Structures are given as structure tokens and as C-alpha cells.
């Protein structure tokens, strides 16, 4: 999708400039946004090291990695990117690389790009208001789920999903992970199915199969999906959206280089991380509300969160007001079967081997 940022950067597409020029650009941009009083930069209480090349370079790399800068950075793109990041991180939108912002970039987080919310969630939410009548509700759900491209996706023709934890981790066994996955899945299915005549999401574990609808695995470094893990800390896990992820649809990867043993701070976060990532598998983007389980930052204090929050439940229920498997499957099961078979993958997905 094209955002104002990407249009800007396409116009200015060229080879990456040397680091000193980038740093100078940020300095100039700061000057442009600071009050016109003629004060020196030091008067704005910038954190130590702010103007050092490595700090600026690190921030640029971060903003690029998580979807805030697409191509070439310049002062306008940087200012917008920093403000967008601050919006998503639920911190003061100063538009500057201040101390709070730089510290937020050091926090452990989910590897899913935040730009999905700006492009998908916010943009669509602006166009599609939640309406009380049924026809509008269904239309808005179709738009939110990007059904233009994925109308015949298997997600619409299945209510009963199979799942499997493909492997374990040396610090956290496959069995422990299975228990946590089962618990996290029930959080989401309860939220979606509550109050319906029949459930539209049910889950069945198939522990001996590698081709289940949902697949959970520990992966290290480069692991075949162009989203290489970064070693300890930083990104802890990532998952793939339905409709737009091709063969990776339904997969959740946990960074195998983290210390996942039960007594470690990262280890205690495992259940929460799995619960968060499953939200992506069902199509939810990051929330900018710190109180939501879909908030993209995985601070260790969040390990005490055992249940979905109000906002998560509201969003997932709005996402699935109905599904084809619910409404049409009983009446047109043979037609749906043939459509579903056409959309099934012929080859197993990469990155899911033992």
C-alpha cells in the first residue's frame, strides 16, 4: 500500500547517503521544528548521545525495520516516522528522538511491523465506521479483513482449525508450549464464539502432523521467511496475517535464541507472547493502547496479564461478525468443499520442518 511517507520517499529514491549526511539532516530537521528563538540545540535537553552517528543510525534502522520508513530517509520522512512510532508506542508525540522514545526502541517487542495498523487499521477505520445495522457491519468486516484479495481464502470456509506445536526449545519443552498454546487459543475462541448459536472458531490439536492450519515453532536467526530473528532480546516472536501471507498463513514463530526457561523474565512472558501473536494469526494488527494485549511492546511486566482485554475482545468480535462456514457451510457444503480444495496449498510451507 502507498502511504504519504512512501510517496515522498519514491520521489526522492536514490542511493543511501553517507551517515554524516543523515545525521546532519536530522539536525537540520530538529532546527526546523524547534521554536524560532535562536537557541542552540543543547537548550532543548537532548539526551546524551542523541546526535552521535550510531544513535541516529540505530533509530533509523529500527524505524525502517518496523515499517515507519520504506525507502530513503529525509527530514520530513523522519519527523513523520518518529511521530507515528510515538503514536503506536502510546507515548508523548514530540516528533523528536527524545529519551523516552529511544528507551522505547530498546524494549522487547513483537516482530510484526507496526505499519499494518497505520495502513490497514487506522486508514480503514477512518473509512468504515462501526454501524449498528447488519448489512453495514458485514461490509465493514469484509473491508477490515481485506477480502478483495482473499475472498476464497480458506479462512472463510473453515470453522474447525487444526493446530500443532512443531518443535520444542531446549529451555521450554514442546509439551509446556502445547499447554500454553491451548490456553491462549481458548482465550481467543471464547472471545469470538461467546453468545453465538454455534461456534465459528474451534481448534483441534493434531500433534503428529506438520500441515495443520495453525503451526507454532521455535526458529533461530534466518529461518526462511525474510524476517530473520535477532538473537536474545529485541524481537521475541512474530506471526502471519491471514489472506496476505501465502504459505505462511497460520504460522507463529518464537525466537529460539531467547532464554525461555520458566524462571527467566522472558520465559515468564511466553504465554503472553503466544496470546498476542495468535491475535495476528486471526488478522488483528497492533493496537496503540498500552492496555491492549495487541499492543506491540512486550515489557516483562506484561507477564502478569493472563486474559484478553476489553479492547482485544471488541476488536476480534468486530472482525468476525459472521463467517461463510457459519452461514453457508451447512446448506452448500459440497460447493464450499470444492472451492476450499482449489484454494488449498499444494506444497508444505517452508520453515516448519523439525
Which residues bind to Zn ion, rule: CB under 5 A? 110, 112, 225, 227, 253, 296
**β-bridge partners, 251:** 215
Q: Is 155 strand, coil or helix?
A: helix
User: Does the active-site annotation cover 119?
Assistant: no
Residue pair 327/333 in contact by the 8 Å Cβ criterion? no
* 257-294-210 Cα angle (round to 5): 50
> Which residue has the CB atom at the shortest distance from Zn ion?
110
Residue (95 or 242) nearer to Zn ion, CB: 242
Q: How far apart are CA 132 and CA 145, in angstroms?
A: 19
Residue (80 or 280) nearer to Zn ion, CB: 280
Alpha helices, DSSP H, located in the chain = 4-11, 19-33, 53-65, 75-88, 99-106, 115-116, 123-127, 134-144, 147-150, 154-157, 174-193, 270-281, 310-319, 324-327, 333-343
Residue (112 or 141) nearer to Zn ion, CB: 112
Tell me how far, at minimum, the Cβ of 253 lies from Zn ion, in Å.
Answer: 3
Tell me how far, at minimum, the Cβ of 117 lies from Zn ion, in Å.
Answer: 10
Q: How far apart are CA 281 and CA 241, in angstroms?
A: 5
Question: Which cell goes with 90?
Answer: 502510546
Q: How far apart are CA 152 and CA 209, in angstroms?
A: 24
Tell me how far, at minimum, the Cβ of 77 lies from Zn ion, in Å.
Answer: 24
- Among 73, 219, 258, 277, which one carries the catalytic annotation? 277
Tell me how far, at minimum, the Cβ of 137 lies from Zn ion, in Å.
Answer: 26
Residue (46 or 228) nearer to Zn ion, CB: 228
Residue (95 or 121) nearer to Zn ion, CB: 121
Tell me how far, at minimum, the Cβ of 219 lies from Zn ion, in Å.
Answer: 5
Q: How far apart are CA 255 and CA 218, in angstroms?
A: 6
Whole-angstrom Cα Rg for the chain: 22
Residue (77 or 281) nearer to Zn ion, CB: 281
How many other CB atoms are found less than 10 A from the CB of residue 52? 11
Tell me how far, at minimum, the Cβ of 156 lies from Zn ion, in Å.
Answer: 23
- What Å distances lie between residue 231 and 67, 108, 240, 297, 306, CA to CA? 20, 11, 20, 17, 26
**CB-neighbour burial class of residue 172 (10 A; exposed 0-12, middle 13-18, buried 19+):** buried
Catalytic (active-site) positions: 277
Amino acid at each position: 500500500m502507498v502511504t504519504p511517507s512512501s510517496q515522498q520517499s519514491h520521489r526522492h529514491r536514490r542511493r543511501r547517503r553517507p551517515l554524516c549526511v543523515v545525521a546532519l539532516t536530522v539536525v537540520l530537521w530538529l532546527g526546523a521544528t524547534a521554536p524560532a528563538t535562536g537557541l542552540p540545540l543543547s537548550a532543548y535537553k537532548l539526551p546524551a548521545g542523541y546526535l552521535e552517528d550510531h544513535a541516529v543510525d540505530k533509530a533509523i534502522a529500527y524505524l525502517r525495520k518496523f515499517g515507519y520508513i520504506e525507502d530513503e530517509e529525509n527530514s520530513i520522512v523522519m519527523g513523520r516516522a518518529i511521530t507515528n512510532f510515538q503514536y503506536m508506542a502510546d507515548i508523548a508525540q514530540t516528533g523528536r528522538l527524545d529519551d523516552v522514545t529511544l528507551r522505547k526502541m530498546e524494549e522487547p517487542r513483537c516482530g510484526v511491523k507496526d505499519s499494518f495498523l497505520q495502513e490497514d487499521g487506522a486508514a480503514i477505520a477512518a473509512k468504515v465506521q462501526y454501524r449498528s445495522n447488519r448489512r453495514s457491519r458485514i461490509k465493514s468486516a469484509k473491508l477490515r479483513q481485506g477480502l478483495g484479495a482473499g475472498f476464497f481464502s480458506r479462512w472463510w470456509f473453515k470453522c474447525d482449525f487444526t493446530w500443532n506445536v512443531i518443535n520444542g526449545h531446549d529451555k521450554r519443552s514442546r509439551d509446556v508450549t502445547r499447554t500454553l498454546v491451548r490456553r491462549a487459543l481458548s482465550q481467543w475462541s471464547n472471545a469470538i464464539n461467546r453468545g453465538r448459536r454455534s461456534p465459528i472458531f474451534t481448534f483441534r490439536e493434531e500433534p503428529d502432523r506438520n500441515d495443520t492450519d495453525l503451526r507454532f515453532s521455535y526458529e533461530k536467526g534466518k529461518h526462511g521467511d525474510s524476517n530473520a530473528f535477532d538473537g536474545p532480546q529485541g524481537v521475541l516472536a512474530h506471526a502471519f496475517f491471514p489472506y496476505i501471507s501465502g504459505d505462511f498463513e497460520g504460522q507463529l514463530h518464537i525466537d529460539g535464541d531467547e532464554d525461555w526457561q520458566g524462571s527467566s523474565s522472558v520465559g515468564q512472558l511466553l504465554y503472553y507472547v503466544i496470546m498476542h501473536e495468535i491475535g495476528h494469526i486471526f488478522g488483528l494488527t497492533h493496537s496503540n493502547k498500552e492496555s491492549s494485549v495487541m499492543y506491540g511492546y512486550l515489557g516483562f511486566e506484561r507477564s502478569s496479564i493472563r486474559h484478553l482485554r476489553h479492547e482485544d475482545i471488541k476488536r476480534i468480535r468486530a472482525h468476525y461478525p459472521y463467517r461463510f462456514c457459519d452461514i453457508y457451510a451447512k446448506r452448500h457444503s459440497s460447493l464450499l468443499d470444492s472451492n476450499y480444495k482449489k484454494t488449498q496449498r499444494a506444497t508444505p510451507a517452508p520453515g516448519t520442518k523439525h
